[in-house]
Amino acid sequence: MRLSDLLAYDDIVIQCHDNPDADALASGFALSKYLLSKGKTSRFIYRGRNKISKSNLLIMIRSLNIPISYEPDYEGRIPILVNVDCQYGQRNVSAGSAETVAIIDHHKAYPLAEGVDPELTLIRSNIGSCSTVIWDMMRDEGIDANDDPALATALYYGLYTDTNKLSEMNHPLDRDMVDSLTNTNMALIREMSNSNISLEELKITGDAILGYQYLDVQKTLLIEADPCDPNILGVISDFALETDKVDVTVAFYHKDEEIKFSVRSCSKTVHANDLAGFIAEGAGGAGGHMFKAGGMMLPDKVNTDVNSYITARISAYFEQYDILYAKDTVLDTSTMRCYMKLDQELGTVKLTDVFPEKSKVLLRTLEGDINIIVDNETYLMIGIEGEVYPIKESKLRSSYRFIDAEYHATFEYEPSIKNLLTGENKKILEYARPVMSSGGTKIYAAPLKRAVKLFTAWDEERYYLGNIGDYIAVREDDCHDIYVVNRKLFDKLYKEC
């Protein structure tokens, strides 16, 4: 679906979920702005039992002139209804009668309800906010949100609130939007952020912290709060993490329709996003980064006492991983099989072809951001699924040969590289050259029988996660060059010697 697909319709009604939050307001506002720019009339509404009353949202509506109206009793038949930040037929949206229904959302995709046009549906569940989804759709239509400061501010604040002040972003597209929105009213963002907690929510915070549960072995605080704005969970987690002998905090609430939780970590052996993903696995979804993350679960997937469920998941997470430091580890290769790389065309980029030597750069990929310093010996490898990682020239040339051809590849997200001093951003694939495995390097590898967190010899601050069934591998010519290969990729990359 593209935004331009909606231009075939007239009298468009945009509806967000009941009890709108900042992301819902920003998404509907952005869509109404787009339609107006194309000469189309639209109305932006919400329904449900409660009228917007939160201070930060009232400030947002007033200061940005968001044309939203509360229409709980509207019963007319709508020619086309566009749901933003929600899905027609779900419990959090009071549905009206419509001839055609379109959906733009970022939550878990549910089966489409009767009346929803699948050709007018875009649900990107791995994106941090609906604001990001619509920003990307507007960008595809050649629209720069920075041309309208109110629009840029709304989109930024929508993502800001839905990812707990940008701390729980998971997808690089969210980070791209943050970097691109340069014409935002940051004074207004601060004003809205500082009006986010009511006195009632302040009491919720205090009561929750007083009722903490300490998991001694894991050095983890588990904190249950009354239902509240999800951002309050982040406030609770951040504050609690400052406690002595606490490495991890998990704050949560549960309601009939959802369980929300927030995770914080100050331990390099526990990435907050990994723990959040483990807690939510099979019951919902999660996102974030090494230090801050959060997630959502569906109560009918948990189907037991929520406190007990989360406690059990935390304990299982800590029990299932071994921690390996490659520089101090020598694997017993007598129990491992020998493999060689298959002939596989990959991509490589010499960093000095992109930015000058000694530049501090940020590498943005689907797996996350990596900060590195450009030097004449470092290349980037581009894997078959778009994964990107640094490699020294000597190791590159010993394992691959350059091909005299152009490199062509398409991935879900195109990796980029940004000069942190100048702010200049470049697409990595534009500088890539194809290489083919030389077949000369042998490795020893074996499927993991226990999950591991591997700190490689070149990075002792960030671990690489290997789950059961993934492969642990080591180069034949370097006993400390230990790494993890995803089980889905191993047979595509290696053959037995």
User: For position 215, which CATH number holds?
Assistant: 3.10.310.40
Do 169 and 80 fall within a single domain? yes
The predicted structure's pLDDT at residue 295: 84
- Looking up tokens 């549910």, which residue turns up? 110
Percentage of the chain exceeding pLDDT 90 = 57
* Residue 327 resides in a domain: no
Identify whether 15 is part of a domain: yes
**Residue 396: inside a domain, yes or no?**
yes
Which one of 267, 285, 320 terminates a domain? 320
Same domain, 403 and 279: no
Contact 225, 233 (CB under 8 A): yes
Residue tagged 């987690």 (tokens):
237
The answer to whether residues 404 and 474 belong to one domain is yes
C-alpha 38/C-alpha 4 separation (Å) is: 9
Same domain, 178 and 220: no
The type of residue at 432 is A
Whether the per-residue pLDDT at 440 is higher than 70: the answer is no
CA distances, 110 to each of 4, 20, 119, 300 (Å): 24, 20, 15, 14
Do residues 236 and 211 share a domain? yes
Q: Are residues 299 and 366 in the same domain?
A: no
So what's the pLDDT on residue 197?
A: 76
Which of 299, 320, 341 represents a domain boundary (last residue)? 320
CA distance 103 to 272: 31
* Residue 96, helix vs strand vs coil: coil
Average pLDDT over residues 179-206: 90
The domain spanning residue 154 has which CATH number? 3.90.1640.10
Give residue 179's pLDDT: 92
- Backbone angles phi and psi of 133, in degrees to 5: -60, -45
- Identity of the residue numbered 467: N
Do 459 and 351 fall into the same domain? yes
DSSP 7: G
Residue 114 banded pLDDT, cuts 50, 70, 90: confident
Q: What is the per-residue pLDDT across 341-376, written as a single tens digit (0 to 9) for each?
A: 888 889 999 999 999 999 999 988 877 788 889 999
Q: Is the pLDDT of residue 290 over 80?
A: no
Helix residue spans in 91-183 (DSSP H): 130-140, 149-162, 172-180
- Say if residue 442's pLDDT is above 90: no
pLDDT of 312 above 90: yes
pLDDT at 166 > cutoff 80: yes
Domain boundary among 320, 353, 386: 320
Whether 439 shows a pLDDT value over 70: the answer reads no
413 and 451 belong to one structural domain? yes
Residue 232 covered by a domain = yes
Residue pointed to by tokens 């619509």: 134
Compute the average pLDDT of residues 136-157. Answer: 97
| The pair of three-digit structure tokens given for residue 268, joined into one six-digit string | 């390099």
> 81: pLDDT confidence band, cut at 50, 70 and 90?
very high
Do 168 and 254 belong together in one domain?
no
Q: H-helix or E-strand containing 223?
A: strand 220-224
SS3 per-residue string spanning 322-380: EEEEHHHCCCCHHHCEEEEECCCEEEEEEHHHCCCCCCEEEEEECCEEEEEECCCCEEE
Residue 423 lies in a domain: yes
308-334 mean pLDDT: 92
Question: Do 254 and 391 belong together in one domain?
Answer: no
**186 and 256 share a domain?**
no
Closest CA to 37 of 80, 3, 83, 2: 3
Assigned domain for 325 exists:
no
Give first-to-last CA distance, the chain, whole Å. 47
Cβ atoms of 84 and 48 within 8 Å: the answer is: no
pLDDT at 77 over 70: yes
Side-chain half-sphere exposure of 64, counting CA atoms within 13 A: 36
46: pLDDT confidence band, cut at 50, 70 and 90?
Answer: very high
| Closest C-alpha to 174, from 162, 192, 185, 183 | 162
Q: Which domain holds residue 368?
A: 333-496
pLDDT value at 188 more than 90 = yes
Do 359 and 487 lie in one domain? The reply is yes
In a domain, 94, yes or no: yes
Instruction: Supply the mean pLDDT for the chain.
Output: 90
Domain membership of residue 326 (yes or no) is no
Rounded distance between C-alpha atoms, residue 337 and residue 357, angstroms = 40
Q: How far is Cα 213 from Cα 479, in angstroms, rounded to an integer?
A: 43
As for how many domains the chain has, the answer is 3
